Amino acid sequence: MRHAFIALLFSLAFTQPLAAQNAASGAIQSTIQNQITAFQADDFATAFSFASPMIKGIFGTSDNFGTMVQRGYPMVHRPSAVRMLDLRDVDGKLWQRVMITDQSGATHLLDYQMIEGPEGWQINAVQLLPQSGLGA
């Protein structure tokens, strides 16, 4: 009986963080998808609402933010396909990997750093990962 109790404690210790991460995963993916949907509609105000306070402080206005995305991340502004990949914890920070296919068929991998704020999950950074021979 004691061994069963210890096994249960170990089981809970290892599955609790995983369960919390899985619960967050859906909300995180929804935040990213909602921002991309807003970009597709050129609704930069809504897209900006999914950004963290740090990102809002850097760009100041939704128009500045929208211009940066159009110029620097055109695959995010006008994707032809979006696929959520793995959610990872890297040094205590959550990173959602996203595969985006652009209008010309090129595939891009991006990492979204996510933080939880009073309004829910927010995007705190986006990194375009180096190309490594990906195909659509």
Q: How confident is the model at residue 24 (pLDDT cuts 50, 70, 90)?
A: confident
Tell me what pLDDT residue 133 has.
Answer: 57
Instruction: Give the chain as a DSSP string.
Output: -HHHHHHHHHHHHHHHHHHHHHHHHHHHHHHHHHHHHHHHTT-HHHHHHTB-HHHHHHH-SHHHHHHHHHHH-HHHHS-SEEEEEEEEEETTEEEEEEEEE-TTS-EEEEEEEEEEETTEEEEEEEEEPPP-S---
CA pair distance 36, 42, nearest whole angstrom: 10
Residue among 123, 113, 119, 70 at smallest CA distance from 93 = 113
Structural domains present in the chain: 2-128 (3.10.450.50)
Which residues have CB under 8 Å from 131's CB, separation 6+? 108
Predicted pLDDT at 119: 85
Q: Quick check: 101 pLDDT over 80?
A: yes
Instruction: Specify the higher pLDDT residue, 91 or 134.
Output: 91
Q: Does the pLDDT value for residue 30 go beyond 70?
A: yes
Q: What is the pLDDT of residues 43-60, one digit of tens each?
A: 999 999 999 999 999 999
Position 122, amino acid: Q
